[in-house]
Amino acid sequence: MTPDDGLVLRLRCVLRGSRAAVFRALTDPRELTRWWGPDGFAIPSVESDLRPGGAYRIAMRPPEGPLFHLVGEFLDVDPPALLRYTFRWEDPDPEDRETVVTLSLRDLDGTSAELTLTQGDFATERRRALHEEGWTQGFGKLEKLLSSA
């Protein structure tokens, strides 16, 4: 994974599995509960209406602290190549603002896919770095999940 500079986060990783399998892991609520979020976080529930204009809500529980929620709206859903959605926290930190996440998938050889994430614009570098850490750890868990399938 390689980060980029600025208040836009860009990450790339290669994942074992077809684009369809990776896209499913990025969108299926049951799959998301298995890998989403930073290390140590539990995902008790994922609600998702996977279509442009549809909403989603992800419940997240940190190792210590109360349950909180991530919410947003799907902007583009083009399986298995592209997913774009808004990203905001319910009860956001004062440094937070709504961002847009774009996940694009490129087939490499039928057995692996390149995933590119773009998210931004962030209000502060601190919030961008926090999201970089969360996505990097989550993608690490996703990589293990796909490799064991």
Tens of each residue's pLDDT in the chain, 149 residues: 444 456 999 999 999 999 999 999 999 999 999 999 999 999 999 999 999 999 999 999 999 999 999 999 999 999 999 999 999 999 888 899 999 999 999 999 889 999 999 999 999 999 999 999 999 999 999 999 999 87
Ranges of each domain in the chain: 9-147
Q: What does the alpha-carbon distance between residue 24 and residue 108 come to, in Å, rounded to a whole number?
A: 17
> Which of 70, 99, 80 has its CA nearest to residue 28?
80
Q: What does the alpha-carbon distance between residue 103 and residue 36 come to, in Å, rounded to a whole number?
A: 14
Residues 6+ apart with CB under 8 A from 67: 44, 59, 60, 61
- What CATH number belongs to 9-147? 3.30.530.20
